[in-house]
């Protein structure tokens, strides 16, 4: 979706883009670092709003801005064990997700955790749709193996 319409303000863009960008970056880098990267990218968007407004896929561009701004502090993502108030989460899921490649983890979490379409993930990550499908399939296969889950269960 292009954001170049005359009536689109930064506030309107922010209201739509911020939750999606934050979720993608939290899936990539973990909670704190993902939120910081999202804030950095959106601050950059505010400073460069005319340029961002004219882009065809500004969310994907801001995702890459966030990646480059967070690169010097890049660390392995560690997921905290779920709290006792969330009994519906498999306790070993965090560790299994952490062992996936970054691309597999992002694709699996966005598609199956947040309900994004494969096309939306492909646009965000600037990746071919078939590549996203492959990352999701392989990521789910690795999660099933790690958690000893069969597709019938």
Domain ranges across the chain: 10-73, 93-147
Q: What is the pTM (predicted TM-score) of this model? A: 0.57
Q: In terms of DSSP H, where are the helices of 30-128?
A: 31-47, 49-53, 58-70, 93-98, 102-108, 118-125
Q: Please say whether the beta carbons of 2 and 12 come within 8 A.
A: no
CATH number assigned to the domain with residue range 93-147, chosen from the 4 options 1.10.10.10, 3.40.1360.10, 1.10.530.10, 3.30.300.30 = 1.10.10.10
pLDDT tens for 21-77 read 999 999 888 888 899 999 999 999 999 999 999 999 999 999 999 988 776 554 555
Range with the poorest average pLDDT among 65-74, 90-99, 107-116: 65-74
The answer, yes or no, to whether residue 82 has pLDDT greater than 60, is no
d(C-alpha 74, C-alpha 96), whole Å:
20
Closest CA to 23 of 136, 108, 135: 108
d(C-alpha 94, C-alpha 139), whole Å:
13
């Amino acid at each position: 979706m292009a954001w170049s319409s005359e009536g689109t303000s930064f506030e309107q863009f922010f209201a739509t883009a911020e939750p999606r960008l934050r979720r993608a970056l939290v899936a990539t880098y973990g909670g704190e670092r993902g939120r910081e990267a999202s804030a950095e990218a959106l601050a950059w968007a505010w400073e460069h709003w005319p340029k961002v407004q004219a882009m065809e896929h500004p969310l994907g561009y801001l995702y890459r801005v966030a990646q480059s701004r967070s690169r010097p502090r890049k660390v392995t993502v560690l997921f905290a064990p779920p709290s006792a108030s969330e009994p519906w989460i498999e306790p070993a899921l965090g560790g299994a997700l952490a062992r996936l490649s970054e691309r597999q983890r992002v694709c699996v979490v966005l598609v199956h955790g947040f309900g994004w379409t494969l096309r939306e993930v492909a646009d965000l990550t600037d990746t071919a749709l078939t590549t996203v499908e492959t990352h999701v399939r392989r990521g789910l296969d690795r999660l099933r193996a790690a958690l000893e889950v069969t597709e019938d269960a």
